Every structure is written in structure tokens, then in C-alpha cells.
Amino acid sequence: MNFSHGAVYSNDGRTRFRVWAPHSDEVWLVAENDRWERPLGAEANGYFSATFDDCPPGFLYRYRLDEGAPLPDPASFCQPDGVHGPSMVVDHHFSWQCEKRHDEVSLGNLKDALIYELHVGTFTREGTLEAAAEKLPILADLGITAVELLPLSAFPGDRNWGYDGVFPYAVPACYGTFATFRRFVERAHDLDLSVILDVVYNHLGPEGNYFSRFGPYYSERFKTPWGAALNFDGPHCDPVCDFFIENALFWLRECRVDGLRLDAIDEIVDTSAKPFLESLAEQVYELSRETGHPHVLIGESNANDPRFIIPRERGGIGLDAVWIDDFHHALHAYFTGEREGYYADFGSLRHVKKTLRKGTFAPGGYRTYRKRNYGRDFGAAHQEQLVVYTQNHDQTGNRPKGERLHHLIGVDRAIQAAALTILSPYTPMLFMGEEYAADQPFLFFTNHGDPTMIKGMRKGRNKELREFGWREKAPDPQDPETRESCILDFADREQGVHAQVFAAYRSLMHLRRQAREMRLLDHDRMTVTADEQGHWLRIEYRRQRKWLGVVVNTGEKPLGLGDILEGEAGEAIWAFSEERFHGNWRETTAAAHATIVFASL
């Protein structure tokens, strides 16, 4: 393993320690329990390093900067005793058994991707990577092609979403080890599933964060909604950029992850001529070229800014794809009737229709919620570069009670939203449990140990909810029962309405694969029509004699389909809220809130 930071154990039994501490005159390696201290040698640009032959895997250590108290390693690969404890040397040598990863399992250009977002801690009762790996065959059978994990950066306590991580290189001990994570990746690849890892490069969590003690990791000019911004463009920024780019390469190269989802990239403030994100994209491209295996970078951004996915050679950042919140907002506001916060600019079938056509709504137009013109048209962007969803961890978990979409509008209407998403020309993503209408909510939860931190977190959380317009009280994030109530029960998918929803999702995903193979789900072949009174909406695709259409009856009464389909040929091959059937569309009536799929494939 060839990295500039951290404790790297090599084949010859020696461990090299290297840390960036530009404001320190001396740096000492401190063995746990103060058994001994040894100096690290100074290098150029504020680095210190040394190599020892008696610090094997399992060795616990900290760094002492000048005369200060010993601190854990910012590039720690393991924190066995929590974020305030010592760091541990890890042996990263791993015997990979699955060889599919290099020649068969690939996200490629995302055209065939069906992404499934999951949180390891609530995906199973055990809340571990090992237990999550056991469920992967269910997702493969469903038709998922890529599993996206919420962040694995070590965080305080044993329950957290992962966005409060303070050790970007360390798997949370409550989830497992690097060996169990690699086995998770290997099991996924064995099932032809790609793995995407969520990483956070816009901020670091507050508790257990010792970065500022080591050097100017933070900007003195910018803030984020979560505190100080990372220093990607100020004095001493180069080592900071290197630290996080190497972190990305570590997950991709050493753990064989296929792609990264970059959290809230619109909150990364960087005025450099060559921004951090562009350098990251360049380095990942070089890794892909070196290994022959394409790696994908997906940015989360609500800025509606196409520059993130414009190729570097054309002056863009060069990411492969970006999340599109407008798609979610348009469907959610229409189906739920909610108009608070950012839903204020959505709500009609017209919004849904336009967003289905363009991926975003009113690019560059005025947004009431933001009180300014907002976004740009994505224009020539490839359709698969836009990742769309009706549910995700944020949109569900940032509600006071963590309700899923079917909790708000019922199963029938949630299936309508799912059909419009899965059979859209964009790259669809599901949120864990959505595929069988899980009873469990997904709530915000933490396990901080610092009383001051806990008080500030609760206050900030309540403030956020009030600003959005919610007045109801949310469960206490610190209460263990809050996390406990979110744990999925996969046995539910085999019974009652859950089994019906699971079958519906499987059918929709099978149809998407069929249509993709026929090159039918193409944005240029798509038409979207809707009833002016808001009773129904239809999307359809045509290529030569192939045809696929979806009709959703959004009204409260049964709806005859003859007028909607205007004499088109084709069979009604699937419906939700009615019996499964094959039949001529002329004889078909859609029940209230029914979803009907028509095709000639």
C-alpha cells in the first residue's frame, strides 16, 4: 500500500508512520499506556515520519505534538476504543477470492445501474457488514445492480448515520473490520453487484475531531451548515487536498469499491484554478486507466449545476453523475400535498411533467424558497448522469418522525411514484426498505458522549425542523430506541401487502432491464402527457415497433384508458392495485390510484 499518511504495515514486517503537522517542531510516536515514546523525523512541507520493526498489526499508538497531550492519528485505519482512544496498526493484506470485479462487475457509464442506498447499522438486526452481506442475494434477485453504503468513517459511539465521521480511513468498529468490509465487497461482486461508498469531504464531525491540532485542515474564510469548511484553497491547502484524494483512492484501490458518492459537494467551497473536486476526478480517472476497471464518482448537490458533470477537457469538474433533488421534490410535493420549505416551488402535475422531461424544473428560474434565480439547464448531459429517487436517507430521515413515502400517501400512490422513477430515462435509486413498503421509519439518531455536544446537537436539530415548518417533536436522537425503531425486518417482504409491493418493484425493475436492452428508455424517445385536471399522467417510449408506456391514475375514481392511450396498440401487461393480467388495453379500466404498464416489447 503506497500512501502518504497513516501507519502502513508492509510485507517485511515493518510499519511506517507518517503524519502532517506543519506547526509543530517535534512529533513523537507514543505507544499505548506510555510504554515508550520515539521521535519521528522531520520532512519537507511539514511532514514527520519514521519506520519501526516492532509495531505489528494490533499495535496501539498516538502522536504527541511538541509538549501536548497524545492524540489519535488523523489517518487512523482503526479506532478500537472509540474516537477518543488510541489508533491501531492494521494489516491490509487480503486474499481476494472473487475475480469478477475486473472483467464482469462494473458500473461503467451508469446506463444499466439500479442503485440501492442502505445504512449498515439499521439494514439488519445485527447492524454489521457481515450481516448485511448475507442479505445481498435478496437485492441481486430483486434486480439491483449497485449497493450504495452510507459513510463508513469512524464516528462517536455505536450508532450514527455516518456523516459525523472523524476518521475518514477507519471502518466503524460497531460495523466490523476492514476484513469484513472487503468480504462484503467480495460477496457483492460475486453476485454481480457493484459497491458505491458514501464519503464526506465537505466537513468532519465535531466529537473526536483532532484535525485542527495537527495543522490548518480548516478554512479561515468559509463555513458550512455543519461548521468550519475544509481548507481546499487557502495557505497549506495542498496536503489537505492530498489527504482526502488519497482517502478516495484507498477505498477504490485497496477495498475494490466501484464508485464513491460525494456528500454535499455544493458545500465544498474552493476558488482554486484547479479545484479539489476536479483533481479528485482526474486521479480517479487515472486509477481507472491503470486498473482497467472504471470507477464512478457521483456528487450530491442541490445546486442544479451541470458544471459538476461536464468533462474536464471542456472546463467542467468531470464527475460521472449527480443527484437530482428536483425530481424528488416534484413527485413528493404533488403526491403528498406538502408545500413547506423547498417544496414551496413544486406541487402541480405540471411540475411533475416538466421534471420527468428535463430531470430538473425551471432551470435558472426564480425559486420562492431560495428567494433568487436558481440552477442551470443540464442541456447535453447524458440522461444516466442524473440520479433520481422518490426516497433517500435525507428526505426520509430529516422528517421529524422519519416517515417513508407510503406512510404519507399509501402504498398504491407510492407505487405510482416508484413506477415513474424506475421507468424514467435517468439512473434510479431506491432507499432500503422502500421495495417492500417497510413499516419501520428512518429517523435521525446519534450516540455522542460529550454532554455539551449532545445539547448543541438537540438544539440544532430542533431549529432545523422549525425552519422547515415542522412543529411536531422528533424522537430524541440520543435515545437508543430511536435507532432501534429503524431496524428493518426483511421477513416482512414475504407477507401481505409487503409481498405485493416487493413483487411490483421486481416487475418494474425487470421491465426497466428489458427496455434498456432494447435501447428503449431513451430521453429522446420519451413523451410525457397529463390531464389538465390532474387525473392522470402517462409516459411512453417508442423505438421502431417497440413501445413501453406507464399510466398512473392520480385521481380518486376509476379511469377508462381508451381516451388516454388514443388508439395505440399494445397489451396491458402489469397493474398494481388490481389483479395481475394480460389483456387488450381497450378493455382495461384503471382503479383509483392504479398504475398500469403497457408494452409491445
Per the DSSP assignment, residues forming a β-bridge with 596 are 551, 575
Contact 75, 169 (CB under 8 A): yes
Provide the total of helices (H) and of strands (E) in the chain, helices listed first. Answer: 16, 28
Contact 330, 403 (CB under 8 A): no
Contact 114, 193 (CB under 8 A): no
Which among 164, 242, 300, 305 is annotated as catalytic? 300
Rounded CA gap, 172 and 170, in Å? 6
Which among 73, 263, 305, 492 is annotated as catalytic? 263
540 is written with which cell numbers?
A: 411512453
Active site annotation includes 377: no
Closest to 276 in 3D by CA, of 309, 235, 320, 232 = 232
221 is written with which cell numbers?
A: 474564510
64: left (phi over 0), alpha (psi -120 to 50) or beta: beta
Rounded CA gap, 424 and 430, in Å? 13
Contact 512, 539 (CB under 8 A): no
CA distances from 309 to 149, 430, 575 (A): 22, 22, 36
407 is written with which cell numbers?
A: 406512510
Active site annotation includes 192: no
Within 10 angstroms of residue 460's Cβ, the number of other Cβ atoms is: 12
Residue with cell 473490520: 177
Contact 74, 5 (CB under 8 A): yes
Rounded CA gap, 546 and 566, in Å? 17
How do the residues of the chain divide into helix, strand and coil, expressed in percent and rounded to 5?
A: 35, 20, 45
DSSP for 277-325, please give it. HHHHHHHHHHHHHHHT---EEEE--SS--GGGTS-GGGTS---SEEE-H
Classify 139 as helix, strand or coil. helix
Contact 218, 204 (CB under 8 A): no
For β-strands 296-299 and 321-323, DSSP reports them as parallel
94 is written with which cell numbers?
A: 487480503
Closest to 337 in 3D by CA, of 398, 409, 410 = 409
Q: In what order do the strands lie in the sheet with 546-553?
A: 526-530, 536-543, 546-553, 595-600, 571-576, 583-584
For β-strands 194-199 and 146-149, DSSP reports them as parallel
Give the residue numbers marked as catalytic: 263, 300
